[in-house]
Structure 1
Amino acid sequence: MKFGLDIAQQRVSFAEVIDRARFAEDLGFTGVWGFDHFVAMYGEPPGEAFEGMTTLAALATATSRIRLGLMVAGVTYRHPSLFAHQVNTIDHASNGRLEVGLGNGWYEKEHTQLGFDFLTTGKRFDLLEDQLEILTRLSTGEKVSYDGKRVSLQDAQMYPPTVQRPHPPIWIGGAGPQRTMPLVARYADYWHAQPEPMKQRLDLLKELCEKEGRDISTIKRVTSLSLDPDPDTITRKIDEHRANGIDYLYCGWPGEGRPAIERFVEKVMSR
């Protein structure tokens, strides 16, 4: 079982973002996760919200062991080729510690405020599919031509290739049977969903993986874990997740902050 920590990257200074990532690394978490929004999502008045990919670039040089990612990068915010180059740069800056979480974007108000096109759900899924295909192909370092649904490439090349081969691990969240699950089967190294929808979709995922020529066991399963309850309650929940085949727990930053995280590491995670 692996544990990642969401550092709650909003309404805190950039120095605190760095400190939280180093804190997670020192405590032995596998990964540290930020978010991909341009405004603080909750509360009043406006608060700090730092851009996700450049934050990961900074964390790449501020840490040395912990893996880094966003949960998740929205495909509507960056052209797929630009995103692929950002991924490659951070993968090299971190010496191969980047995780790539991708989603189709959802916060319409933010798009409207900042002038990002907020496409229909179907078109956002088309763009997500293009992004996944473009990222995986460009990561090879070879020339790529691709006729996409929203974005196409002509003799494009990204060099050098990514440190991690064939590309940094890809994380996809959700359990929608029509668009999400086929993308999970084709591209995902990690699948993030809530336990019940995940159980409901396992047979479908197995079928889709067989069509893609993949073994379902190559896709690691991820779900969220609250660190707010007492250690015994958290331990029981972890045992339940383990019994259901969960490989990785994405831990939310608790209301109590650092003391609750330290208590979790000492009494639960270290075991």
Structure 2
Amino acid sequence: MTVDLRIFTEPQQGATYDDLLAVARAAEALGFSGFFRSDHYLAMGGDGGAGPTDAWTTLAGLARETSTIRLGTLVTSATFRLPGPLAIQVAGVDRMSGGRVELGLGAGWFEAEHTAYGIPFPPLGERFDRLEEQLAVITGLWATEPGKTFSHNGTHYPVVDSPALAKPTQDGGVPIIIGGGGKRRTPALAARYAAEFNAPFVSATEAGRLFERVRAVACDAGREPGALTCSAAQVVCVGGDEATLRRRADAIGRDLDELRANGLAGSPDEVATKIATFEAAGAQRLYLQVLDLTDLDHLADIADAALE
């Protein structure tokens, strides 16, 4: 198969930096192209272990402790950070990695984590307004020529005569990922600002519909048809036998039959077949969500099933 495969983690469920480092290094050694993490401050079920780790703090560490694998968020919430400091932060991590960083950015949705840490949580419409303005500021800062300044006359994030530093290592700035099932604003923002559109946790059929919609919007906006990479995210659970599969499903608190129906779960052959259905639907990249970060043997089994 030709679909690009990346590992995607949910550290807010209790993973430490050392856990993330072990998974990132294993993913790199096994040949996965990317290691991505969520950007959340509150566990979604369970006690959250030692507590959350900050996404961009941990990615900065991983940038220095890996050498080839791409690193990023799926996705950073626009409610968490001001766009100017975020642009500096991401550019810095990109430089620390030698140009291996990508920025997934979304409007934010998990109200409980905002109230738990004193983060304002505006209504949905305002969150999308803020996301759009953040995208304009971040990309504008990165695109400003050296020696010139950047200004933005925005409602939420006005910027005046910024020196637009620091710059990322990657030409054109850090690639931006935008995803979701929104019918209007999400495709429009992806068409305007994103290098990649992600369809998270939907069937291959639904992912294909989302890809068609965003590509049509991008085409109407004047982008080349192949300029926007289309990707999907799916939870993965692989095992060579039923006992291993059930043990791994139990470890993440999921029913195996439900995982088989709604994720990439099963034998190596089953999972390879399911990945092929996403590829046939137009997915050029898959983020394989691994929820038990202590089971490094699982990563090896995923690689055996999915990587040629």
| TM more than 0.5 | yes
1:1-271 counterparts in 2 under 5 A? Answer: 1-10=3-12, 11-44=14-47, 46-142=49-145, 143-193=149-199, 194=202, 195-228=204-237, 229-253=266-290, 255=292, 257-269=295-307, 271=308
Give ranges in structure 2 of 5+ residues lacking alignment: 238-265
Choose between structure 1 and 2 for higher RCO, CA contacts under 8 A separated by at least 6 residues: 2
Say if 1:222 and 1:19 are closer, same or farther in 2 by CA, change over 3 A.
same
SS class of match (1:64): coil
- Asked if structure 2 preserves the Cα contact closer than 8 Å seen for 1:141 and 1:160, the reply is no
Per-residue CA distance 1:92-150 (angstroms, 9 max, x = gap)? 11110001000111111111121111011011001110111111111124311111242
- Asked if structure 2 preserves the Cα contact closer than 8 Å seen for 1:91 and 1:163, the reply is yes
Matched residues in 2 for 1:28 and 1:203: separation?
Answer: 29
Q: CA deviation at 1:79?
A: 0.5
Matched residues in 2 for 1:72 and 1:141: separation?
Answer: 25
Per-residue CA distance 1:148-197 (angstroms, 9 max, x = gap)? 24211111122242211211111111121121111011111111113333
Larger mean CA deviation between 115-124 and 7-16 belongs to 7-16
- Asked if structure 2 preserves the Cα contact closer than 8 Å seen for 1:30 and 1:66, the reply is yes
SS class of match (1:139): helix
TM-score, with length taken from structure 2: 0.82
Larger mean CA deviation between 94-103 and 150-159 belongs to 150-159
The runs of at least 4 consecutive aligned structure 1 residues that moved more than 6 Å come to none
Matched residues in 1 for 2:213 and 2:276: separation?
Answer: 25
- Asked if structure 2 preserves the Cα contact closer than 8 Å seen for 1:145 and 1:156, the reply is yes
How many residues align? The count is 270
Matched residues in 2 for 1:204 and 1:6: separation?
Answer: 25
Q: CA deviation at 1:209?
A: 1.5
Matched residues in 2 for 1:257 and 1:192: separation?
Answer: 26
Q: CA deviation at 1:240?
A: 1.1
SS class of match (1:182): helix
Q: CA deviation at 1:84?
A: 0.6
TM-score, with length taken from structure 1: 0.93
SS class of match (1:165): coil
SS class of match (2:92): helix
Matched residues in 1 for 2:152 and 2:303: separation?
Answer: 46
Q: CA deviation at 1:202?
A: 4.3
Q: Which amino acid aligns with 2:182?
A: G
Larger mean CA deviation between 47-56 and 67-76 belongs to 47-56
- Asked if structure 2 preserves the Cα contact closer than 8 Å seen for 1:39 and 1:47, the reply is no
Matched residues in 2 for 1:226 and 1:203: separation?
Answer: 23
- Asked if structure 2 preserves the Cα contact closer than 8 Å seen for 1:205 and 1:216, the reply is no
Matched residues in 1 for 2:39 and 2:212: separation?
Answer: 31
Q: Which amino acid aligns with 1:165?
A: D
Matched residues in 2 for 1:147 and 1:136: separation?
Answer: 15
Q: Which amino acid aligns with 1:238?
A: I
Q: Which amino acid aligns with 1:239?
A: A
Give ranges in structure 1 of 5+ residues lacking alignment: none
